Amino acid sequence: MKELNLKVQKRDEVGKGPNRRLRSDGNIPAVVYGPDIEPIAIKIDFRELYGIMHGKSLSSIINLDIEGDDGPARPVIIRELQKDPVSGDLLHIDFRNIDMSKPITLTIPVRTVGIPDGVKNFGGIVSMIRREIEISCLPTAIPEEIVIDIEALGVGDSIHVSEIDAQGIDILTDPVRTIVTVVAPTVIKEPTVAEDEEIEGEEGAEGEEGAEGEGEAKEGEAKEGDDKDKKDGDKKDDKKDGKKDGKK
């Protein structure tokens, strides 16, 4: 891995107020720590940091040339980037001083290459389960990333941590963990012909019930009309009988 070089300055003030002023001036507050050194508070020009880190892995080794520090540049790696949860602005950086002769533990990114057979020919979908793995190795052997060829994967196939071929490093992530898998496409079920006929049959039955109801209503109206006519006829007969009795 290519080593990067960065010049930084010590900072005397610490705390939220001084850090805000640093960021408003285009600097990023940071700290360098390690097992054999006292923590060193530093500030970094954001433009210089962006210039050397753009397109580079966060696991890259950075040689910090600290102004006023006796001795050679300090080899460090980025341990933590603190960002504003809303704006995403960089707030603080933690650097870990490393011994180039001793193994270190860190996480590195995983990247896939190729289009799986299950995607090209069967409409499958690539599902990336794990994008980083934890490793241990000498600083000089740190890979920028782990590259996995997934072209041969069919629908339902997966690649696990145990299948990663990495020389010169020890992989600490659980070997049974899945890195990537190809899942079957989502199928949307359409209504079957039988279901359509059943729905139409129910609608027809409701229509028949409605027709029967209308028929019953009409029969009721006709019956009421007949009863009314019968009553009117009886009244007329009664009147005629009354007149006859009067004449007598």
Stretch (H or E) spanning 81: strand 74-83
pLDDT at 26: 92
Average pLDDT by stretches of 10, the chain with 248 residues: 87 86 92 90 93 88 89 91 92 94 93 96 96 94 93 96 91 97 82 57 51 50 52 51 46
> Given this model, what pLDDT does residue 221 score?
53
Q: In sequence order, what are the residues at sequence separation of 6 or more whose Cβ sits closer than 8 angstroms to the Cβ of residue 171?
A: 133, 134, 135, 161, 164
3-state secondary structure of 119: helix
- The Cα–Cα gap between 133 and 192 comes to 47
Cβ count within 10 A of residue 8: 25
- Rounded-to-integer distance, Cα 16 and Cα 149, Å: 46
Instruction: Report pLDDT for 211.
Output: 46
pLDDT of residue 247: 45
Instruction: Please give the pLDDT value at position 214.
Output: 52
Tell me what pLDDT residue 242 has.
Answer: 47
Closest listed residue to residue 148, CA positions, set 133, 135, 168: 133
